[in-house]
Structure 1
Amino acid sequence: MPGEVIDRPNPQPLASHIPDSVLELSVRLEKVALSDADLRGLEEFRRASNYIAAAMIFLSDNALMERDLKFEDIKPRLLGHWGTCPGLTLVYAHLNYLTRKNDLDLIYVVGPGHGAPAILASLWLEGSLEKFYPQYSQTKQGLHNLITGFSTPHGFPSHINAETPGSIHEGGELGYALAVAFGAVMDKPDLIVACIVGDGEAESGPTATAWHAAKYIDPAESGAVIPIVHINGFKISERTIYGCMDDKEVVSLFTGYGYQCRFVEDLDDIDRDLATSIQWALNEIRKIQKAARSGKPIMKPRWPVLIMRTPKGWSGPKKVDGEFVEGSFHAHQVPLMAAKSSANQLADLQKWLLSYGPAQLFTSAGAPTDSIKSIIPAEGHKKLGQRVETYKNHEPLNVPDWQIYGVEKGSEESCMQAIGKLIDQALVDNPKSLRLFSPDELVSNKLDAVFNHTGRDFQWDEFSNARGGRVIEILSEHTCQGFLQGYTLTGRTGIFPSYESFLGIIHTMMVQYSKFNKMARETTWRTDISSINYIETSTWTRQEHNGFSHQNPSFIGAVLNLKPDAARVYFPPDANTFLSTIAHCLRSKNYVNLMVGSKQPQPVFLSVEEADRHCQAGASVWKFASTDSGLDPDVVLVGIGSELTFEVVVAASILRRKCPNLRVRVVNVTDLMIIEAETLHPHSLSNAEFDALFTKDKPVHFNYHGYSNEIKGLLFGRPNLDRISISCYKEEGSTTTPFDMMLRNEVSRYHVMQQAIRGGARSNSKVALDMTDLLGEVRHQITKVQEYIMASGRDPEGTFDIPKFEGTVFEGGAGSKGKKGDSKEDGFFVN
């Protein structure tokens, strides 16, 4: 039938048209010799771990099956995923054995996050749960607590998260494990990360691109990843793509990616098969690393990848109520959902659990047997759940003094060019603990100063191979984010600059990461980590040449939705404030920092000293642009965002000439979080401070870079909000001119002037007297400028000249791009 789901055990891959000769590219090895003791230890570890994993899903009592099961022994809610667990425990046992045999520094990244029962069971067997959670000791009571508490409000959740020792990956949203694993090994030459990728996860776009991550690993300076593709054939209710690929197709795919494959699929001798394969992978890695570290790197080395085929739900029930379970999608979650009400299913559960022989796997005190312990590393810090890289390895940065890179007040400078010089020095000062991860946009974003002392790290390019570049550019935001997470969660610091409109691609990845970090902060044993740092540039205000598709500030809202103790959003208005901001962000810990700025030259409004004070406060009155330094205003004009602030300052300059009776206070907000209602964010201004900055009762107009609901949400709870108006991005754009973008979204100087005049007229009778004439003139100027832009295809000359303010450094338009008199204020009224 069309659309019918195939439901049969262990369906075979479909036939392939690829020639048999392709299979010569896969690796065939004689199996290594394992002692009887090692084989027994591996097999018993797997049995014990699978027993505990299955029991965790079902049992609320009788954890060691010391009597027959009763309905009351079954949990009221059966939560968890069984299908992937046997494969995860198989790999876990062998990673412990590999570590013990080779004295490795190794961590385990698990893509199938719902395989938590397998990982928690294995952590209990190796004693790592007890180290961090004494209630899960290796005793009968400790095992009872683990099994009966799983997926309950007082136990571990059904999902690997930051509460899981050894984890650096949430795994909830599939697709990111591989990129995280590669990020973790960067600049850690002795570290091996074994990353298991489920065949469902392997279908995701982020995973498909992350296979190229090996091309960004310099084996002279970094560790290596052992990818293990776990093919068990099914997702929740459908076949997987990889499950329908035969050996020739798989080999062709991974050969094209640049890997050499070995298959692990001998179910009758699985421990010898996997032990042989994983040792081979390690040996291949060491060959590649030895060549690179001896000064003779292999160009385009072929890294190992293991393709492991085991049945879905292996060792679980074969059939339930006449339907195949093992080897089908029915094993994906809970195979015996009616175990609490069906006598037949309760009996099946008892038979299943007893098939592992729990009485032979645990001592009378409830501890694992010596045979199981024999394959586990003896040293605690070598155990997978106790690697310090995963929870206690923060390396603080040596951040350069940003003031050295300060720019003269009154001049013009691109924020990105200014901070590029600071980042360049930071890379020099932190050669093994700071990296830049970016899509192919660094030069476009005018951050190319970072290349003054380093280069790109792309090992398949002969001109950057083996040169120690600190910048990774790959045109995949997902992979950049995965690298950033893996690098950060193992102790280092990363920076992710991107076009504003495309950071939204990794919105949910950032949220997943933030959830992981939230839970990490709530543990007692995970230490601080560096903040992750986004630089959002090429913003909608200067993406008029690329058109409407490149105009999207939505990532700001994504960060604002995070918990207050995680979210930080900054809008530095000029180069000096951006320098101060990025220096602060690089020193900070545990946050998601978003910095939004312009790559185009902008006026430098604040000196180094003023910028320092401004950033410490998060906002300030710009006295030079205000009437009488901002005293007793009729209206408060607030700029948030560099271009939006520029329009506010220009509006204030024009209003001085055109409406001298209007008293204006100009405020710039650089730390967006200060405006949130009192006590709701650590940076929130008190109501007294808020009133001092914005007045208690005068009209306030926000000219904001993002969406209006963001400002409304932050301000909610502040008193007297009916006096506030907001202009913002309104989803209006095209391929047009920069100033036309301001006009289309009603955030231009003219629209600011309209709000200022209307607001000032409420309390200033002189302004009210002239309001109709003034607003008419402004509307007339808007029409004239729009007509000029449509006719000429460019903005009026002098539009972006630095505004003039008598008695200040900006008197006479110092540093303006146009010639004196070019602004034509009596004509186009632009400045």
Structure 2
Amino acid sequence: MPLRGESLVAFLSDGAFEEQRGSDWSPRWWRAEDCGLVTPVMILNGRRIEERTEIAQDGGADWLDRHLRLNGFDPIEIDGRDPAAVAWAILESEERLKRFTADPNRLYPARLPYVVARTVKGFGFPGAGTNRAHNLPLEGNPHTDSAARAAFNAAAAALFVPPRELEPALGALATHELQRRPLESGHPAARRAPPAPVRPAPSPEAGPRSPMAAIDDWFVSFVDANPGLRVRLGNPDELRSNGMGRTLERLRHRVNRPEPGLPEAVDGAVVTALNEEAVAGAALGNKGGLNLIVSYEAFAVKMLGLLRQEILFARRQREIGVPPQWLSVPLVATSHTWENGKNEQSHQDPTLAEALLGEMSDTARVLFPVDANSAVAALRGVYGGRGEVACLVVPKRIGPCLVDAAAAEALWARGAGVIHGDPAAAEMQIVAVGAYQAREAIAAAVRLERSGRRVCVVALLEPGRFRAPRDEIEARHTASPEDLEACFPERLPRLILTHTRPEPMLGLLRRLDGGPRRTRALGYISRGGTLDTPGMLFANRCTWAHAAVACADLLGADASGVLTPAELAAVRGDAHPRILQVSPPEGSSS
């Protein structure tokens, strides 16, 4: 978190140490060249909710000391009930790091100081050191129960400092102006407001292109255009295989001992570990800089708890009128549900996008680009925002460009846009949420048009823009009734073809839903395996043919007038699905 020249003290609980082990990587990632001083202080009280912590069970402070040293830390043990000891330990920690920084021959990893403040849980309150200390330590109401009142006063005496002693102490410590030291409320980490970044114009794509490759190219130019912003790229797995090869070569893995010939460097900006929460934390903590998180979609869900806490805190800041000013952080979820069959259903899961769509859409933005141009436009747009977490669900395989650069910018600005047909003349609308879904939707529309039907296809880049707003802040982010009608005319029956499970998307898009007779949704129905993309689409009944049948049904037409008998047999499961690939309709992705 701290930039060079800053210092940060972070108080941690031993329970959090057990649950969130990402901090174990800190000595491997901290660098004097681009990080400020950091002092972790663990409150070692030995108890979690219902029992002792593992630290206490395994040997207490002595065990923790060995563990910390093994993980590259330099522990300092103190009496956590003594404020003077805590103050000394902070000063001593910073002095140790300063000595390391001043050494011209320093080698990494740095042995980061780690203060261990021994105490008992609930010190200064009744029930200290027992499970009572976790929740409400009093066994009665002190207002009406004299025994509870006496117990509270007796325990709190250990914390009480008479005003005649406290006031001179406060006066002695109130030297912020003299020492040029900000109050905690004014700490730089609490008031991040980096300058607006330079966002290069995207290079328009016309032919088939991998959306991830387009993002890769643009992001390198973005980094180069902003040399004053510290970069952190959180990477829990394989960056190159996810289409970010140029970015990896430019930023390099952050390691202590670079291996010759590999994209590694001591000062690398790619923070890599097989721990999704840890690498996401490395990016989210860099609020004074520029950040990106790239992950397989199925495993990005492991970041959800951390992302949600960030989103909630930022949203609360908006609610009280002090919106956060750090640059918005994108999470690119790729190698996703519809294109990742090599490891069976363990790698096919749209849960993250569905869960984030449940958060407030002005702070948690979920985006479904349909091609390379819209992927770059969405990423570029995210970096123009402040205090937002945005999840972009992006395919990495090569696909056609469905919108040009100008249309991609319009898609970002509005959240949705027509990619086929004319809504004013249409009698049926297909709403595509996702890249593969957009291709299948266009293919279905083409086939329906051959039978005389007028169909338009709308790409829904940001579904949260078209939800029913839940408060005034979200209402400022969502589409007006006029914008809604312009994109989704109420008169049209519509099919929603979605990357996600159909039920969450139907619930989110209640404003578009004309009821079961006028609105249907096709999406991931938890069917998968070692299948390619056409196989995934077929298994989940989301091919162009399934979409065409659903549209025909909504129009009250006979599907046999749209599909051939062999194609209908395949849709019903009575013929091999390869029939839908042998002679695909124009515009199909099959």
TM-score by length of 2: 0.89
Q: Deviations over 1:589-636 (max 9, x none)?
A: 12221211110001012221222223323222224xx3xx45522321
Q: Which residue of 1 aligns with 2:550?
A: 755
Assess, with a 3 A threshold, how the Cα gap between structure 1 residues 237 and 788 changes in structure 2: closer, same or farther: closer
For residue 143 of structure 2, what is the amino acid of its counterpart?
K
The whole-number CA distance in structure 1 between the counterparts of 2:87 and 2:508 is 56
For residue 483 of structure 1, what is the amino acid of its counterpart?
A
Please point out which of 274, 281, 286 is paired with 1:475: 274
Would you say the 8 A contact 1:568–1:673 is kept in 2? yes
Q: Deviations over 1:652-690 (max 9, x none)?
A: 233444x2x222222222121233247864343334443
Assess, with a 3 A threshold, how the Cα gap between structure 1 residues 664 and 508 changes in structure 2: closer, same or farther: same
Q: Which residue of 2 aligns with 1:427?
A: 223
Would you say the 8 A contact 1:737–1:789 is kept in 2? no
How far residue 225 of structure 1 moved from its aligned partner, in angstroms, is 2.2
CA RMSD of aligned residues (A): 3.0
Matched residue SS, 1:416: helix
Would you say the 8 A contact 1:376–1:383 is kept in 2? no
Matched residue SS, 2:40: strand
Would you say the 8 A contact 2:332–2:391 is kept in 1? yes
Q: Which structure 1 segments of 5+ residues have no match?
A: 1-183, 318-324, 363-367, 806-822, 824-829
Please point out which of 128, 132, 150 is paired with 1:330: 132
Assess, with a 3 A threshold, how the Cα gap between structure 1 residues 525 and 591 changes in structure 2: closer, same or farther: closer
For residue 459 of structure 1, what is the amino acid of its counterpart?
N
Would you say the 8 A contact 1:634–1:759 is kept in 2? no
For residue 362 of structure 2, what is the amino acid of its counterpart?
D
How far residue 421 of structure 1 moved from its aligned partner, in angstroms, is 1.1
Assess, with a 3 A threshold, how the Cα gap between structure 1 residues 576 and 309 changes in structure 2: closer, same or farther: same
Matched residue SS, 1:197: strand
The whole-number CA distance in structure 2 between the counterparts of 1:603 and 1:246 is 59
Q: Deviations over 1:374-420 (max 9, x none)?
A: 134332962452334133231034233233x2212xx1000010011
Matched residue SS, 2:109: coil
Q: Deviations over 1:414-444 (max 9, x none)?
A: 0010011111122222233332112123112
How far residue 500 of structure 1 moved from its aligned partner, in angstroms, is 0.9
The answer as to 2:590 corresponding to 1:787 is: no
The correspondence of residues 331-730 of structure 1 with structure 2, limited to 5 A, is 331-338=133-140, 339-353=142-156, 358-361=161-164, 369-379=167-177, 382-403=181-202, 405-408=203-206, 411-431=207-227, 432-461=229-258, 467-488=266-287, 491-524=288-321, 527-623=324-420, 626=421, 629=422, 631-657=424-450, 659=451, 661-677=452-468, 681-718=475-512, 720-721=514-515, 722-730=517-525
For residue 421 of structure 1, what is the amino acid of its counterpart?
D
Matched residue SS, 2:11: strand
For residue 373 of structure 1, what is the amino acid of its counterpart?
G
Assess, with a 3 A threshold, how the Cα gap between structure 1 residues 789 and 209 changes in structure 2: closer, same or farther: farther
Matched residue SS, 1:243: helix
Assess, with a 3 A threshold, how the Cα gap between structure 1 residues 257 and 461 changes in structure 2: closer, same or farther: farther
Q: Deviations over 1:463-503 (max 9, x none)?
A: 67764322212211111222233222xx3332111111112
Matched residue SS, 1:227: strand
The whole-number CA distance in structure 2 between the counterparts of 1:281 and 1:788 is 65
The correspondence of residues 117-156 of structure 1 with structure 2, limited to 5 A, is none
The whole-number CA distance in structure 1 between the counterparts of 2:159 and 2:41 is 25
TM-score by length of 1: 0.65
The correspondence of residues 40-119 of structure 1 with structure 2, limited to 5 A, is none
Q: Deviations over 1:667-726 (max 9, x none)?
A: 222121233247864343334443343333232111111122222222324573341111
The whole-number CA distance in structure 2 between the counterparts of 1:232 and 1:418 is 50
Assess, with a 3 A threshold, how the Cα gap between structure 1 residues 664 and 340 changes in structure 2: closer, same or farther: same
Matched residue SS, 1:734: coil
Calculate percent identity across the aligned residue pairs. Answer: 21
The whole-number CA distance in structure 2 between the counterparts of 1:588 and 1:501 is 26
Deviating more after overlay: 209-218 vs 575-584: 209-218
The correspondence of residues 139-218 of structure 1 with structure 2, limited to 5 A, is 184-185=1-2, 188-204=3-19, 206=20, 208-218=21-31
Assess, with a 3 A threshold, how the Cα gap between structure 1 residues 220 and 684 changes in structure 2: closer, same or farther: closer
Assess, with a 3 A threshold, how the Cα gap between structure 1 residues 592 and 419 changes in structure 2: closer, same or farther: same
The whole-number CA distance in structure 2 between the counterparts of 1:666 and 1:523 is 40
Assess, with a 3 A threshold, how the Cα gap between structure 1 residues 637 and 305 changes in structure 2: closer, same or farther: same
Q: Which residue of 2 aligns with 1:131?
A: none
The whole-number CA distance in structure 2 between the counterparts of 1:328 and 1:599 is 53
The whole-number CA distance in structure 2 between the counterparts of 1:773 and 1:372 is 81
Assess, with a 3 A threshold, how the Cα gap between structure 1 residues 326 and 726 changes in structure 2: closer, same or farther: closer
